[in-house]
Structure formats: C-alpha cells, structure tokens
Amino acid sequence: DVKVTQSSRYLVKRTGEKVFLECVQDMDHENMFWYRQDPGLGLRLIYFSYDVKMKEKGDIPEGYSVSREKKERFSLILESASTNQTSMYLCASSLGALVSQYFGPGTRLLVL
Amino acid sequence: AQSVTQLDSHVSVSEGTPVLLRCNYSSSYSPSLFWYVQHPNKGLQLLLKYTSAATLVKGINGFEAEFKKSETSFHLTKPSAHMSDAAEYFCVVSDQVSGNTPLVFGKGTRLSVIA
C-alpha cells in the first residue's frame, strides 16, 4: 500500500515564525501536492511538483513556498506564519496526473 | 477550465435508507471524475473513479456512481446507509486532455447517519 506520511499531526506556532511541514511518500511517485482544507471551502491547492526540484503554483500560493530536493519528500514552508494560515494541511502524491492521489493524514496548524 | 459543484453541503439520512450525494461538473474535454471520503481526523481516501470506461462505477464500501454526460453529473449513491458512512465526501474532476492538470475538488458534502 502507498503510504504518505506527514511530520506532525498537530502544530502550534506563533505569528512571524518560519514553519516547515514535511511530507514523505514511499511509492516512488513523481507527483506531489500540498493542499489546505478549511470548513466550507473544501481543498485548495497551494503548490504541486511533478519532479525533483520542480514546482508549480496552485490556486493559493501566496505566503507559502515549497522544496523538493528528493523525489520522496515535498516540504511546505510558511516563511512568516500568520493567523490566517491556521488550517488543516494535506499532502498527496500520485503516479501520474490522471490517476487518483494518495493522501497523508494531515497536519492541523494553529498560528497564534 | 474544469470545476465541480456539490449541490448539498450537508445530507442527513437514517441508517438503512439510501444515500444520494449530488455532484455536477464542468469540463472542457473528457473528464476523469473521483469521489473521496474523509472520516473525522483522517486523510482522504479514494472511494471510486471514472476514467471513460463503464459509466456506472462501483467503489468500496458499497458505494457507486454513475457518469451522465448529458446531465454533467456524477452522483454518489449507496442502497443502505451504515453508521460508519458518516463522513465528509468530496467530488473531484480532472481534465484528461490538459495533461498534468491537478485535481479540482468540490467543497464537500457532510453525510450524517442517524440511528
């Protein structure tokens, strides 16, 4: 079975802190994705990556950056956390574009 | 550009009665369509997917969905609800012709099952 793991289930940070969210997949998938999930808004794509060192902006990239130095690892970075970035963050991976994505359990981030 | 509309934000059914979660999509070309489920405090899990094969798609846990091109719909159904079906459900569309287009998610439908 594909396994997507995220470094933390719950995280509490202060405004202005730099935050790293890590995601690792163990199935050699080329594609990796970061979403945020908010009540009533569904999932919104922040960034995605189709290959190592490659990244593409999603629908809401402002305030975020990403890093993909290795195929299995995709990191989401909040350069200066703000309270409006309090959310559930979901990482996903897939073998191709049209196949289903596999999701990690999510990181619930609270920015105070 | 593709989009997806889940017509109900919340559906409540009694245990043992049928489930219908409605989804309409918009896509320029031939879409791939998915339904995902998210149980409380869990990640998303794929229920079923349509990728231009049979229009009636069977998924896990007794769920199925029918692709209706004329109605641009992909409604999710289950004959008899179980308490364990209570969760959030997401309808998702991807555009086959656009290559590596990421998935576009609906806003979700919360299913409640009453004993």
- pLDDT digit string, tens, across residues B62-72: 999 999 999 99
**pLDDT tens-digit readout, A22-65:** 999 998 999 999 999 998 888 999 999 988 988 999 889 999 99
Give the number of beta-carbon pairs within 8 Å between A and B.
49
CA distances from B3 to A32, B60, B65, B91 (A): 21, 25, 18, 10
Q: How far apart are CA B113 and CA B39, in angstroms?
A: 13
3-state secondary structure at position B23: strand
B50 touches B67 (CB < 8 A): yes
Mean of per-residue pLDDT scores for chain B: 90
Smallest Cα–Cα separation from B19: which of B73, B71, B83?
B83
Mean of per-residue pLDDT scores for chain A: 92
**Residues of chain A with a CB closer than 8 angstroms to some CB in chain B:** 4, 31, 33, 35, 40-45, 48, 50, 58, 90, 92, 97-98, 100-106
Q: How far apart are CA A102 and CA B47, in angstroms?
A: 12
Q: What are phi and psi of B65, to 5 degrees?
A: -145, 150
Smallest Cα–Cα separation from B30: which of B101, B114, B105?
B101
**By the CB < 8 Å criterion, does B40 face chain A?**
no
What is the 8-class DSSP label of residue A51? S
Q: Is the pLDDT of residue B97 over 60?
A: no
Q: Do A42 and B90 touch (CB under 8 A)?
A: yes
Q: How far apart are CA A90 and CA A9, in angstroms?
A: 10
Mutate to test the interface with B, among A51, A98, A101, A108 (most CBs of B within 10 A): A98
Q: Which two tokens stand for residue A70?
A: 């290795």
